[in-house]
Amino acid sequence: METKSINIVLLGPPGAGKGTQAEILKDAFKLLHLSTGDMFREEVKAGSEIGKKLAEYMNKGELVPDKIVTDLVIGRMGKPDAKSGVILDGYPRTGAQAESLDKALKDSGKRLDVVLYVNTTDEVVVKRLSGRRICKACGKIFHVVNMPSKKENVCDICGGELYQREDDKPATIKNRLEVYVKSTKDLIKYYRDKGFLYEFDGGMQKEDLFKAVKALFNKLGLLNK
C-alpha cells in the first residue's frame, strides 16, 4: 500500500512490541524502519571501538549519551531511502533527543506526522522480554510462547540461529523499566501537548494492533488508497 511520505515515532516501554509492530508497518506502508537499538547492536556485533562502548551502556540497561544517538539517527534520516518516510523505533528517548529531532525535521523541511504510543504493563513487559528470541542472521523477532519459531532456536524466515539479547536478563529488564520511567515517560506529555500522540494497548495481538494503527492512518488522511 502506498502512503504519502510519513514520519512516525514509536514510543513505549521496553518490550511493548515496538520492533514487532515496526516490521509490520514497514512492509505494509514501504517505510524505512530505524531502530536505534538494532543499529547499536549491529555496531556491537562488528566489534568496533564504539561498539564496545555502546555495549557497556546497553548491557546495564542505561541510555547511550544523547549526542551519539542523535548524530546517528539524524545522519541516517538524511539518506535518500528515508525520503518516503521513516519509523523511528526507540528514538527519541529523552527530552533533549525530542528537541533535536524537532530541529532536524524543521531544518530539512520535513514533519513528524504521528507518535504511536504502545503502552503495556510491567508484568507483560517482563514476560515478553524474558521469552524473546531474535534471529542472529536476519533480526526477525520471536517469543518462546507468544510467537514461537516452528523449530526450536531456528529462524522460520532464513534458518538462522536464534539468540537471547544480553539486556533481556531479569536484573537488566528491571533497570530498563526504571530508566524508561525516569527518562522517557515525560515524552508522552511532550507529544500529547503537541497533538501528535495516539495511545494503543500493546497487550493486543500484533495483527489487531496493526488494524487499529491502519484505521488511525486512514482517519488522519495518511494513506493514498
Give the residues lining the site for Mg ion (CB under 5 A).
19
Which of Mg ion, ligand AP5, none sits in contact with 97, Cβ below 5 to 8 A by type?
Answer: ligand AP5
- Of the candidate residues 29, 117, 142, 200, the single one contacting ligand AP5 (CB under 6 A): 142
Residue 61 binds ligand AP5 (CB under 6 A): yes
Q: Does 128 bind ligand AP5 (CB under 6 A)?
A: yes
Question: Minimum Å distance from CB 37 to ligand AP5?
Answer: 2
Segment 67 to 126, residues that bind ligand AP5, using CB under 6 A: 69, 90-91, 93, 97
Instruction: Determine whether 178 is exposed, middle or buried from the number of CB atoms within 10 Å of its CB (0-12, 13-18, 19+).
Output: exposed
25, 63, 162, 187: which one contacts ligand AP5 (CB under 6 A)? 63
Residue 217 C-beta-side C-alpha neighbours within 13 Å: 22
User: By C-beta, is 48 or 205 nearer to ligand AP5?
Assistant: 205
User: Smallest distance from the beta carbon of 5 to Mg ion, in angstroms?
Assistant: 23
Residues in the chain: 225
Active site residues: 18, 93, 132, 165, 176
